[in-house]
Amino acid sequence: MRFPVLAVSSVCTITEKVIRWSSLLQMKLLVVTPTLGVSPFLDETVMSVAAVGAGVRHIFVCPSAVSGELRRRFGGVEVLAEDAPGLYVAINRGLTVPGDWEAWTWLNDDDRWVPDGVCRAMALLEREPAVEVVYGRVAFIGPTGGYLAEMPIETLPSRLAALHAAGVAALTQQGTLVRRSVLDRIGALDVSYRLVADFDYWIRLLLAGVRFACVDTPVAEFRVHAGQLSQDVEAMRAETWRSVATHFETPTSLRPRMAAAWFRFRRLPEIVHRFRRTGCWRIGTLIRRAAADR
């Protein structure tokens, strides 16, 4: 199936608006990108991070066999070698680096940031000291970078806990920034998960009383293509419910079910828009079809 492509401006173009934002920001942000060094999209990922400005420290965590080549290719990115297997092992390794960074996130080596949105998220963290996690909107893009659809997120943080108790991922890692104080207090990702340690982490933070805030603007783009881990929809679902059962005594109680139903009802215009553009009612179907669209 060939998906329609919407013409969009490259996120790798530094606009005057992004320059203005980045010149006002004081926050220092750590970005970890776990990579095997073979992604054909890695240059786009790096350029989208660099476009945010000088306050961002970008680190690759990769096998030692490719660390030298990555240092040669990307002189502005730090490289850490980690030969233990696992996506979340690599991310946790990146979070051990010393320095005076104040917030952190990770960005996969096939995804892209929307620099203006990231700057807005950083600005919210700067002006709201009580906020510890900021997230924004994320779009699906295809293998060639064309826009596919919006990822569904919940813009009201007060609803996040009930939605996660229902197994609904209502925010996404690509568009989320976390204060360093959260890492110091609650710890890093649970590496017993292969696919959904981010979902599990948000639950841990929500139950610990961490304050979330939303910037209702595009912050990142999640690329769907052949070979990525997120294609294993059934395994992701199984891990999601393992996380829910670990943290909630009654995950199928009335409140989570009602929260999930209301969330899907409010997302109905997005679902219809997604179907009209891609022919897919479900996100899992979109991921599988887009991955096969070469």
The Cα–Cα gap between 283 and 67 comes to: 34
The Cα–Cα gap between 196 and 194 comes to: 6
| pLDDT at position 2 | 39
Q: Tell me what percent of the residues of the chain surpass a pLDDT of 70.
A: 86
| pLDDT at position 264 | 87
**Cβ(186)–Cβ(206) below 8 Å:** no
Taken as a whole, the chain contains a residue count of 294
Does residue 11 surpass a pLDDT of 80? no
Does residue 197 surpass a pLDDT of 60? yes
239-258 pLDDT, tens digit each: 999 999 999 876 557 788 88
The Cα–Cα gap between 109 and 282 comes to: 25
Over range 60-78, report the average pLDDT: 96
- Cα 69 to Cα 43, 81, 108: the distances in Å are 13, 12, 18
Does residue 22 surpass a pLDDT of 60? no
**Cβ(48)–Cβ(58) below 8 Å:** no
- Cα 48 to Cα 44, 169, 207: the distances in Å are 6, 25, 32
**Cβ(108)–Cβ(174) below 8 Å:** yes
**Cβ(127)–Cβ(26) below 8 Å:** no
Structure-token pair, residue 261: 């139903």
| pLDDT at position 252 | 58
The dihedral over CA atoms of 207, 212, 218, 224, expressed in degrees to the nearest 10, equals -20
User: What topology does CATH give the domain 16-292?
Assistant: Spore Coat Polysaccharide Biosynthesis Protein SpsA; Chain A (3.90.550)
Q: Tell me what percent of the residues of the chain surpass a pLDDT of 90.
A: 63
Does residue 15 surpass a pLDDT of 60? no
CB neighbours of residue 230 within 10 Å = 18
| pLDDT at position 278 | 77
Structure-token pair, residue 206: 């929500």
Lowest mean pLDDT among 46-50, 217-221, 281-285: 281-285
Over range 17-38, report the average pLDDT: 80
Does residue 35 surpass a pLDDT of 90? yes
| pLDDT at position 263 | 85
Most confident of 18-27, 122-131, 255-264: 122-131
Domain boundaries, the chain: 16-292
Q: Is the pTM of this model over 0.85?
A: yes
Structure-token pair, residue 142: 């295809």
Phi/psi for 18 (5° steps) reads -65, -40
